[in-house]
Amino acid sequence: MQEAYIIAGMTPDQVDAAFLLVRRLKPSPDLEGWRTKRGEGDAPAGRRQDVRVATNPRGHVQGLCLCREALHMVHGAILDVPLFVVASAADGPGVAAALVADLCAIAGRLGCSAVRIRTGDAPRAFHGIEHSRQGGTGGIALLLDSSPMADPPWAVRAPVCP
C-alpha cells in the first residue's frame, strides 16, 4: 500500500492521462471532447461537476472520480459520484479509500448527508471500505450503488452511418 495519494481537482496536464482511464467506459467520451470539457460534459445550468484525480507520489494518475451535488429521496442533499475509476493494480483498495475519504470531506463541506458512488462493475475496489469508513466519515453515509450510470457525464455522439 502506498504511503499517500494526492487527491485534487484534475489539472490541464492530467487530462490525457485521465482520458486513458475513462475511455474504456461505455459509452466512452471522445478525446477532443474530453480535452475541451475536461469531464464537464453537458452539465445542466447551476449543476457543477468536478473531476477528482488520485496521483501517487511520483505524479502518476492512479484513479479518478466525477462528483456533483444531487438530491436523494431518503438522504436529501448528497454528493453523487456517477464515475469512479481505479487504475492501480498494486493498490486498488488504497486508491479507492483515498478517493472516498476526499469525497466524504467534500460532502461535509457542502452540507451533504451522504456520498453515493456508482460502483459499476468494480465493486471489489470497495472491499472493506464500508466497514473502515463507519467510524470516520463525520456522519456522512456511504452509499455504494451497483446500478449503471444513468446518463454519461459527457456528450454522446450518435454513430455516423455510411
Residue 155 domain-assigned (yes or no): no
Q: Can you give the residue range of the structural domain that contains 103?
A: 6-145
Residue 157 domain-assigned (yes or no): no
The contacts of residue 50 (CB under 8 Å, 6+ apart) are 9, 66, 67, 68, 106
| CATH number of the domain residue 129 falls in | 3.40.630.30
The verdict on whether omega for the bond into residue 152 sits within 30 degrees of 0, i.e. cis, is no
Residue 37 domain-assigned (yes or no): yes
Residue 15 domain-assigned (yes or no): yes
**Amino acid sitting at position 94:** G
Could you read off the pLDDT of 92-145 as tens digits, one per residue?
Answer: 888 888 999 999 999 999 999 999 988 765 556 666 665 444 444 568 888 888
Residues 102 and 119: their CA atoms lie apart, in Å, by 16
Counting the structural domains of the chain, the total is: 1
CA distances to 2, 36, 100 from 96, in Å: 12, 27, 6
Nearest in space to 1 (alpha carbons), one of 133, 125, 90, 132: 90
Residues 144 and 81: their CA atoms lie apart, in Å, by 10
Could you read off the pLDDT of 16-39 as tens digits, one per residue?
Answer: 888 888 877 766 777 777 777 665
The overall pTM is greater than 0.85: no
Could you read off the pLDDT of 55-100 as tens digits, one per residue?
Answer: 999 999 999 988 999 988 888 899 999 888 888 777 888 888 899 9
